[in-house]
């Protein structure tokens, strides 16, 4: 539940900040008459995301076991690819997000009325579809799908409340720190989803070696134990993984975590202290101030 809560919170907060920036800029332009079209686009994005989640949940039941495993494995790998792209995209584009969105609004205002609808749908739809796909992939490997789904919904609702508070100046949060640490956490969650997807493909016979277990932790982490359930729900922990799952997990974490940490280090000169003792602000994503800009 915790992993899905943080997924919903992070993705929901991204979407909420984007919508807040768009609303604030339309107000600055004196075009609040276009807000209705923007909300239509946001509504379309939410509906499409919910539809994707429903299709992923109930669609595979008519398929054979092998087909379900192949679909589940392929979608798990796709979900990992999307969330990895999202983590690195936010790390590199966060600082210029407000400027980028404003240029898109300027271009949309000069076009047809449909352009604002499309802008709202695309701005929120990407976050929504990523959330639906990654939460589904994570829940499908967990022990309690209902609890996992509830965690994601609770995270989204929390994000809505925080976004509203930021837009009203009632909430102050260091978004740079938030996205940095959740990015690190999601890399570990994504590694578990990737290993689970490899396991699905092995069960379907697409990848060999499903019966070759690298090790067994059943004695240390018994099935049904509270800590085993917790590890499974958060990280898709498998007590008897195959060699392919272990190799993929280690390789993904090693490569992705290293690249992410290098990117964070390059983004630093974080908070140097001037000779007079005055703190110099770091060059980090200023998404919080964008809503009030």
Per-residue pLDDT tens for 10-67?
888 888 888 888 888 888 888 888 888 889 999 998 898 888 877 877 766 667 778 8
Asked if the model's pLDDT at residue 201 lies above 90, the reply is: yes
Q: Is 218 helix (H, G, I), strand (E, B) or coil?
A: coil
pTM: predicted TM-score of the whole model, two decimal places: 0.73
* Alpha carbon distance 189, 111 (integer Å): 41
* Alpha carbon distance 89, 263 (integer Å): 11
Mean pLDDT, rounded, for 185-195 = 90
* Alpha carbon distance 27, 59 (integer Å): 42
Q: Which two tokens stand for residue 288?
A: 């919080």
Q: Is 38 helix (H, G, I), strand (E, B) or coil?
A: helix
Spatial contact of 130 and 11, defined as CB atoms under 8 Å apart: yes
Amino acid 287: pLDDT = 44
Asked if the model's pLDDT at residue 247 lies above 90, the reply is: yes
* Alpha carbon distance 229, 222 (integer Å): 9
Amino acid 61: pLDDT = 66
* Alpha carbon distance 153, 66 (integer Å): 30
């Amino acid at each position: 539940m915790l992993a899905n809560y943080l997924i919903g919170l992070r993705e929901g907060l991204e979407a909420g900040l984007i919508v807040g920036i768009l609303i604030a800029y339309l107000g600055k332009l004196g075009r609040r008459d276009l807000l209705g079209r923007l909300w239509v686009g946001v509504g379309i994005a939410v509906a499409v995301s919910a539809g994707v989640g429903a299709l992923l949940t109930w669609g595979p039941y008519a398929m054979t076991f092998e087909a379900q495993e192949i679909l589940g494995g392929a979608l798990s790998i796709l979900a990992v690819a999307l969330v990895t792209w999202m983590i690195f995209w936010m790390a590199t584009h966060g600082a210029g997000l407000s400027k980028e969105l404003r240029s898109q609004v300027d271009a949309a205002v000069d076009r047809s009325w449909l352009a604002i609808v499309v802008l709202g749908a695309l701005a929120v739809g990407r976050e929504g579809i990523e959330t639906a796909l990654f939460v589904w992939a994570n829940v499908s490997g967990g022990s309690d799908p209902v609890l996992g789904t509830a965690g994601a919904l609770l995270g989204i609702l929390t994000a809505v409340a925080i976004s509203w508070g930021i837009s009203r100046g009632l909430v102050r949060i260091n978004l740079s720190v938030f996205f940095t640490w959740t990015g690190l956490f999601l890399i570990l969650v994504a590694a578990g989803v990737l290993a689970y997807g490899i396991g699905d493909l092995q069960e379907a016979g697409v990848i060999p070696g499903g019966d070759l277990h690298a090790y067994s932790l059943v004695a240390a982490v018994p099935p049904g134990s509270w800590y085993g359930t917790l590890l499974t729900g958060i990280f898709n922990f498998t007590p008897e993984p195959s060699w392919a799952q272990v190799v993929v997990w280690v390789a993904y974490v090693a490569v992705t975590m290293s690249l992410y940490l290098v990117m964070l280090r390059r983004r630093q000169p974080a908070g140097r202290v001037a000779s007079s003792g005055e703190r110099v602000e770091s060059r980090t994503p200023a998404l919080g101030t964008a809503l009030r800009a």
